[in-house]
Amino acid sequence: MNAPSLPRQQLLLVDDEEDALLELAELLEGEGFNCFTATSVKLALHHLTRHPDIALVITDLRMPEESGMSLIKRLREHTSRQHLPVIVTSGHADMEDVSDMLRLQVLDLFRKPIYHVRLLETLNNLFPQPCMDLVSP
């Protein structure tokens, strides 16, 4: 019988491609993270307002209405959320984007399709999995 795993951090995933969003949420929830998903910057900001315990944002860079870069800029301007770690995913980042991400203190950039093993390593380094000490009587 497996011991119940302790819940891990709350993450916000932002991507206009719903299939990619749901696949990533399923992967991360399988690792114990609690994921909120948003298909737009507007919905992402709504989640951030309603869920103050969100510990990290993973956002796509290019989205139709408003970009992931816009979301990051808004976070950095918001005093209570300015240090929230952000990971960017993109299939089309250019040098200007990378320069902006460095300036905005983005934690990491993952090219799409996302290499899941590397993403999980990054998250596990940032948020080590809680250990339950099992003591035999």
CA distances from 7 to 51, 84, 126 (A): 16, 20, 15
Query: Has this prediction a pTM greater than 0.85?
Result: yes
pLDDT digits (tens, 9 = 90+) for 59-113: 999 999 999 999 999 999 987 889 999 999 998 888 999 999 999 999 999 999 9
- Please give the Cα distance from 13 to 114 (Å, whole number): 13
Are 88 and 110 spatial neighbours (Cβ–Cβ below 8 Å)? yes
- Please give the Cα distance from 92 to 107 (Å, whole number): 18
CATH superfamily of 10-114: Response regulator (3.40.50.2300)
Are 106 and 93 spatial neighbours (Cβ–Cβ below 8 Å)? no
- Residue 75: helix, strand or coil by DSSP? helix
